[in-house]
Amino acid sequence: MLFKKVLVPYDESDHAKSALHIAFGMVGDDPEAEVHVVTAVSVGALPDPLFGGTSLESPFAVTSQMDYDAILGSLLQHTRDDMAGVIEGARDGAVCKVETNAIVAASPVEGIAEYVESHDIDLVVMGRRGLGRLSGMIGSVSYGVLRSVSVPVMTVK
Ligand code: ATP
Ligand code: MG
């Protein structure tokens, strides 16, 4: 198999779900292959611990670094738990290894690009669009990833 380590950036959208099916279809019968399913959380969407307040996009109130770490930990755990169910539904009998991760990054694009580098990913399969409401040919995360990684990127509907 040409590709051994496939990354599916995952945002719960239907396009990202079909990316999961396609990734499993491509490498699923190779027990040595790995599918990494990763959700990136923007640092800007998290509460700002310095000011002890809430960020505009965050429903959480934070009063100390301890609260911040606890909130962050449970947010990432929830994301991983949610992904686990979806992945089981998309596996289609695949025997490859699966790794799920939730990461915090300056932006989803930067987080995904860093993940590609640090995990030696050799193919990215992602949705052409995501959860955004505007319709158009391609979403900003897909566009940014296409521009910033050197490995092949497959965008799917
Ligand atoms: P926009 O966000 O620009 O309004 P959109 O939501 O329609 O547009 P994108 O966000 O580019 O489109 O989503 C395209 C694909 O990128 C998704 O199907 C998913 O594979 C991936 N993706 C989007 N956001 C994230 C994220 N936060 N973490 C991981 N993957 C993501
Ligand atoms: Mg989006």
Q: Domain holding 84: CATH number?
A: 3.40.50.620
Q: What is the number of domains present in the chain?
A: 1
Q: 17 with 23: CB under 8 angstroms? A: no
Ligand 1 pocket test, candidate residues 7, 76, 100, 141, most atoms within 8 A of CB: 141
Distance of alpha carbon 69 from the chain centroid: 21
Q: 82 with 90: CB under 8 angstroms? A: no
Ligand 1 atom with least separation from CA of 8 = 20
Model pLDDT for residues 76-122, shown as the tens digit of each residue: 888 888 888 899 988 889 999 999 998 989 999 999 999 999 999 99
Query: Which residue range(s) make up the domain with 41?
Result: 5-156
Please report, in angstroms and rounded to a whole number, the separation of the first and last CA atoms in the chain. Answer: 24
Q: Which residues pair with 97 in a beta bridge?
A: 34
Mean pLDDT of 49-77: 64
> Is the pLDDT confidence value at 53 over 60?
no
Q: Mean of the per-residue pLDDT values for the chain?
A: 88
User: Cβ–Cβ contacts within 10 Å for residue 99, how many?
Assistant: 13
